[in-house]
Structure 1
Amino acid sequence: MAAPRSRTPLVIGIAVGVTCLVALLVIVLVVVVGGVTFWRSAAPGTSSDTTPGAHSEQTPGSGELVLPPGVAADQPYLEVSTSDDGPVVDVYLDFLCPHCATFHDAQGEDLARLAQDGEITLRMHPRPMLDASSTPAGYSGRAANAAVCAYAEDEDPAQWAAAESALFTDQPDAAGLSDAELSTRISQATGLDVDECITEGTYLPWLREVVEPAAQATGQGTPAVFIDDEQFTGDITAPGSLEEAIAAA
């Protein structure tokens, strides 16, 4: 009678086979993961560099909060002019707002003159309130930024007035203006080169994070005017009406 065959060689063979299969799977996994990692690192617009200072593209206006010259950290307005004894006039506007353009046509020249002559402390609150109403979204903020860029260049009431007029003249529809068109309008009106400030959206974080929240807290839309903290309720379309109210303050 033949002795039973030992199963040891079979067991060893199975074990070796399983070991080889596992090793093969590990090799395949390493190759696949390595290939994907290499592809992602080499793909345009991607970077695996997470060290401080590494380059990363940002949406205009998505960077750090930059304050316009002379503006305190929590100040939600530009103080375009300062008067020692004249009233404080706060004006809230949005450059996409049709009623704001009407207000500017009726009262803008008087406000500009009073500010330039130092008869009032004029505080402008340029709001990005209607950002979602433009196509593409964001025109209110970009236009407000363009006006702030012009004022920041010289800190001159006349430059603010010129930039404001340029943005309300032939007010665009919901499509707004491109950055290049904004730069052209501001340059033609003021003689200033603010292309970089407009393209980078330098003051957009300030407009969105400081100006707009404070304006919303007033519960008012645009245009809105306060004279020594009292809201002007006269006819904004009547030329001279605001100046009369300011004189009576």
Structure 2
Amino acid sequence: MSQNAKKGPSQQESGKRSARERRKAAELAEQQAQQARLAKEHKQQTLIGLIVVIVVVALVAVAGFAIWRATRPVSTADAEKAYETVQSVKTKPADANSKGGFLISKDGLNKKIADVPTVEEYMDFLCPGCGSFNRSVDESLQKMVAAGQINLVVYPNAFLDSLSTDEYSTRAASAAAYIAQNDPDHLLAFIADMFAEDFQPSESNYKAVSDEQIQQVAIKAGVSESVAKKSTDGTYKTWISKVSAYSPLRQELWNVSGSNKGQMTTPTVRINDNYWDMNSVSSSGLDTASALLKALGISSSDVGQEGVLPSIGASGKPVSLS
């Protein structure tokens, strides 16, 4: 009994030490786990920071290239060389003009009607400004073309591929070119549907658009299923890329006023080979469609009336909006 009694306190102390050691071990393990978590978080933050830096550098590089491209001197030789490159492309639409446009009239593709104005539009299917413009004027343009009141020359370009994840601008422009060559009667309806608010993708928050979706737009516009499917094969992608490199070098397409004076932006519109300054629309108090009709010299009530022709004819300058 006495021996056992003497051992009791020692066992208690031993138990206390074991508990303390266990607590210390647990605390040490927790400290080590926390240090590991902190190290992991630091590594993740460093990686995120590195990614941010890479993205910023890339954006700055893109912006710098855009500024360089917009402000660098462009010589006649630059434009001529780019033009020759367009001509050298082996696979291109047979009925497109040498600068990348498709003339549509009441009589069909590449059949210009005499004595009426010729309207040109340069577009990018991702461009929000083009979408807004076309949604305003497409109905009037289609009616005037059908009534033989204008010739319309469409220039599909691709400037905004860098803002999509799948070369949307080039794919859409190539599809338009294929439809223009193979089913021109439905080209204008296709363009209108591509720019519809419920279809045109966002430039700033782009979500991928598949070839099948573009095909469905074409079929909805009346394009045959076989032509619609082939339109997204990329037949004219190389040609589109060369035309898109050439168009901005053409001084006749450069803005004549505003912050972008001296460079091309989309949409670009010309009437009878005269640059139509859309910056004047906002100061005119007119909506875009009304402003275009005034520039052509035709009233809205006469749009689509066969035999009633715009006053500027085939060679007149756009009527001033002021």
With the length of structure 2 as denominator, give the TM-score of the two structures. 0.52
Helix, strand or coil for the counterpart of 1:163?
helix
The match for 2:281 among 216, 228, 235 is 235
Residues 77-88 of structure 1 correspond to what in structure 2 (within 5 A)? 77-81=101-105, 82-88=112-118
Write the deviation string for residues 32-91 of structure 1: whole angstroms up to 9, x where unpaired. xxxxxxxxxxxxxxxxxxxxxxxxxxxxxxxx642224225x332111222211122111
2:120 is equivalent to residue 90 of structure 1: yes
The answer for the alignment partner of 1:213 in structure 2 is 246
2:224 is equivalent to residue 224 of structure 1: no
Matched AA of 2:96: V
2:204 is equivalent to residue 154 of structure 1: no
Tell me the distance in 2 between the aligned counterparts of 1:89 and 1:160: 15
Of Structure 1 and Structure 2, the greater helix share is in 2
The CA deviation at 1:176 is 4.2
Tell me the distance in 2 between the aligned counterparts of 1:215 and 1:243: 26
Going from structure 1 to structure 2, the CA distance change for 1:176 and 1:95 (only over 3 Å counts) comes to farther
The match for 2:210 among 164, 172, 178 is 178
Tell me the distance in 2 between the aligned counterparts of 1:225 and 1:144: 17
Q: Which has the higher contact order (CA 8 A, sep 6+)?
A: 1
The match for 2:230 among 161, 180, 197 is 197
The answer for the alignment partner of 2:220 in structure 1 is 188
Helix, strand or coil for the counterpart of 2:159?
coil
Contact 2:177–2:236 (CA<8 Å) still a contact in 1? yes
Tell me the distance in 2 between the aligned counterparts of 1:109 and 1:212: 30
Contact 1:125–1:211 (CA<8 Å) still a contact in 2? no
With the length of structure 1 as denominator, give the TM-score of the two structures. 0.66
The CA deviation at 1:220 is 1.6
Tell me the distance in 1 between the aligned counterparts of 2:271 and 2:232: 34
Write the deviation string for residues 147-169 of structure 1: whole angstroms up to 9, x where unpaired. 2222222232xx11110111111
Matched AA of 2:101: Y
Tell me the distance in 1 between the aligned counterparts of 2:90 and 2:295: 36
Tell me the distance in 2 between the aligned counterparts of 1:176 and 1:80: 30
Matched AA of 1:198: S
Give the gaps of 5 or more residues in structure 2. 1-88, 106-111, 254-262, 298-310, 313-322
Over the aligned positions, Cα root-mean-square deviation in angstroms equals 2.0
The CA deviation at 1:212 is 4.2
